[in-house]
Chains A and B, each alone.
Chain A
Amino acid sequence: MQSYITRYVQVNGAAIHVDGGLYYRGEASGAEFLAEAYKGIGLDYPKFYKMDPLSRLAVLATEMLLKGRKITQEYKPEDVAVIVTSAHSSLDTDLRYQQSVATAPSPSLFVYTLPNVMIGEVCIRQGIKGENTCFVSADFDPEFQAGYVNGLLVEGRAEVCISGRADYLRGGMNAFFMLVEKNPASLGEYNTQTIKQLYDRQWKN
């Protein structure tokens, strides 16, 4: 069985690209870019403001990835998987929480001191109930990503998967999300080579 990339999104802290084309370019940088982009893409989800930057990044990227789709109507919510990797995990929020401990520990920071929370926010926003996990790895590993996600699809543990990478630390950010389906009307096969090509391309935008 072959799986395919039907859309991909890149958020690099200055712009949002969809399928390689510029969708939104902001003027702010760092965390302010995320708030600016929220308005720029017309997202209406007040809970966004309560999220930490990593979750905001993942929610924004997913919003663009699924724009115009009704993914949990097209598929059972239980059949939509989310598999994301990250280099710095929740470190940005961990550090800010550590600072808050000196005065008064912040409950709203504490709840974001796990990387899986960004996936939880994505699932809540989109109504997704399928298998999900976040792997922490220093470098993006297309071979691992392709192997893990294709395994899910082959084994029938998911019918569609949001697959990619999200990373945020001290204002620097990068998100690269792909929608992986069994639908052959696609941008390319979901395999190590294509993932690597698309991931590398984002740095040229």
Chain B
Amino acid sequence: MEELMQTLKGQIVEQLNLQHIKPEDIGDDQPLFIEGLGLDSIDALELIVLLQQKYGIKLANPSEGPTVFKTVRSIAEYITAHKAA
């Protein structure tokens, strides 16, 4: 899980063009949207693309988005659960 979260942080920075942020500056449990990293709705779509491209996972239910993309840890947990499935 730890390794996956570190990988995810790098991928998020790259996919979302967060050139002003270092991957290591993103906390495992830091909120990604609004008050946390400040991501917006377009970033949410990019995260869906990231899941598809890098992990072959399609977000089956879009209403799950806010829960899945809440933090790096929640994304990693979702990937772990769905890759194993």
Q: Which chain B positions have C-beta within 8 A of A103? A: 53
CB–CB B20/A108 < 8 A: no
Candidates B19, B38, B46, B52; contact of A108 at CB < 8 Å: B46
CB–CB A46/B20 < 8 A: yes
Bound Cα distance from A103 to B17, whole angstroms:
18
CB–CB A108/B53 < 8 A: no
CB–CB B49/A104 < 8 A: yes
A49-B20 contact given A103-B53, A104-B52, A104-B53, CB 8 Å threshold: yes
Q: Which chain A positions have C-beta within 8 A of B52? A: 104
CB–CB B46/A106 < 8 A: yes
User: Counting CB contacts under 8 A, is A187 at the interface?
Assistant: no
A-side binding surface: helix, strand, loop or mixed? helix
User: Counting CB contacts under 8 A, is A50 at the interface?
Assistant: yes
Bound Cα distance from A35 to B19, whole angstroms:
10
User: Counting CB contacts under 8 A, is A107 at the interface?
Assistant: yes
CB B51 to nearest CB in A, in angstroms, measures 10
Bound Cα distance from A106 to B14, whole angstroms:
13
**Nearest neighbor of B48 in chain A, beta-carbon distance:** A107
Q: Which chain A positions have C-beta within 8 A of B43? A: 108
CB A89 to nearest CB in B, in angstroms, measures 20
User: Counting CB contacts under 8 A, is A28 at the interface?
Assistant: no
User: Counting CB contacts under 8 A, is B18 at the interface?
Assistant: yes
Query: Nearest 4 pairs between A and B by C-beta?
Result: A107-B45, A49-B19, A46-B20, A104-B49
Q: Which residues of B contact A (CB under 8 A)?
A: 16-21, 38, 42-43, 45-46, 49, 52-53
